[in-house]
A = this chain, B = another copy of it.
Amino acid sequence: MATLKQVAAHAEVSVQTVSNALNAPHRLRPDTLERVNRSIELLNYRPNRNARSLRTSAVELIGYCVPSWPDQAHLVMDQFLHELCAAAEKTGRHILLFTAPPGVEGMPTYDDLHARRLVDGFVLSQTETHDPRHGWLKDTQIPFVSFGRVWKETTQPGPWVDVDGAAGSAMAVQHLYETGRRRIAFLSWPRSSGLAEDRLAGWRGRCKQLGLPTGGLAVRCGEDAIDEGARATAELLDSDQPPVGIVALSDILALGALRELGRRGLTPGVDVGVTGFDDSPLASVVSPGLTSLRQPMDEIACELIAILTETQSLTGTTSGVPTERLLQPELVIRGSSAPG
């Protein structure tokens, strides 16, 4: 049986457009609708209309827990929220915001919102390693989809969309390699973070592929803070063989690297190439600008909404839409990694 994605590829449109053809055909131009419908017919695509889905709901609201403040990891949250809202509206739905304590303590809030029919399902983000929400929602049979994985040793509970962190780190290494760097370090987080291990593995894998050294070049930072990025960079620069490239697993750590380079009279992009992760507003306001990996927020949002509204997200079975989507980040090149 064909998937929604195969239909989209066949009709040369986005997954969202196929979803619209099924749920909100009036939103499409007639010629587009005709093309999509032809592909649906040719590929014999059948959306699972019997599945318990948001489509049958009257209220048509999707819950999203607004992260607590302050937390610098949420620097791109407003961008994500805008795209999520726009994607939901394309299907005639809206986002209901709420606050909840982190972890299991917040679960009664999710349960209450769903029981009162205020929302039909949830989009989770700020997913933590071993995040308890996913398994709880799955067990409780409340529809949800996650931006980010919980990195359990076993299978991920429920459907998810994520960005390929390993591929992102590999892209950063490749870029620094192609601009002439041969000794490339990695600024990481503590070992307990699945996200960090993923990005670290991408750096290590590509370095090995390219025949570059990795020994002594991965430094773990205690937390995601400028000071920690600067400290780790100092440690690297003080070693016998200092690196000429630094891949940081966040923009915050990368800014720490830039600060330490500046303090030593070294010029980012000339003496040492530096890259970050997230392409947050911080990346373009420092001077030189920070090369960083952009997460495709529009695509992430469309996939999340498509999965939540098209699948039985409570059981994880599909109705044409894949329920696990790993998207590719994009390297945005700025002065911090100018050819060395």
Contacts and interface: CB of A to CB of B under 8 A. Distances in A.
A211 interface: no
A60 B175 CA distance: 51
A110 B95 CA distance: 15
A325 interface: no
B98 A96 contact: no
Interface stretch (A48-56, A76-84, A176-184, A267-275): A76-84
A74 B74 CA distance: 13
A67 interface: yes
Interface stretch (A3-11, A132-140, A165-173, A281-289): A281-289
A259 interface: yes
Nearest to A64: B97
B78 A77 contact: yes
Nearest to A259: B287
A333 interface: no
A66 interface: yes
Contact of A85 (B97, B255, B259, B287): B97
B61 A85 contact: no
Contacts of A89: 98-99
B98 A252 contact: no
Interface residues of A, number: 36
Nearest to A280: B281
Contacts of A98: 85, 89, 94-95
Nearest to A70: B79
A82 to B, nearest CB: 5
A317 interface: no
Contacts of A79: 69-70
A227 B78 CA distance: 23
A33 to B, nearest CB: 23
A96 B95 contact: yes
Given A82-B99, A89-B98, A94-B97, 12 more contacts: A66-B78, A68-B82, A69-B79, A69-B82, A69-B83, A72-B285, A74-B78, A85-B99, A96-B97, A252-B285, A259-B287, A286-B286
